[in-house]
Amino acid sequence: MNNENIDQEKSFEKSMTRLEEIVSLLEKGDVTLEESVRLFEEGTSLAAGCKKMLDEAEQKIENLSLSE
């Protein structure tokens, strides 16, 4: 595994951890409306980034499978 893959994995894991934190905060309902909106925006951005990383990983797997 090269350094880029390791960095992406760490980034993905950090993003997922932060998403879990955001969901927990929003589910508790202890944050203001403004904070809820900010957290939601952060969460959607993180989710989009995670989706992109997953799509890239899927493409790599497909390319590896085709090359065999």
Pair 42, 14: CB distance under 8 Å: no
For 11-65, the pLDDT digits (tens) are 999 999 999 999 999 999 999 999 999 999 999 999 999 999 999 999 999 998 8
What's the number of domains the chain is made of? 1
Containing structural domain, residue 25:
3-66
What CATH number is attached to the domain comprising 56? 1.10.287
Q: In this model, does residue 1 exceed pLDDT 60? A: no
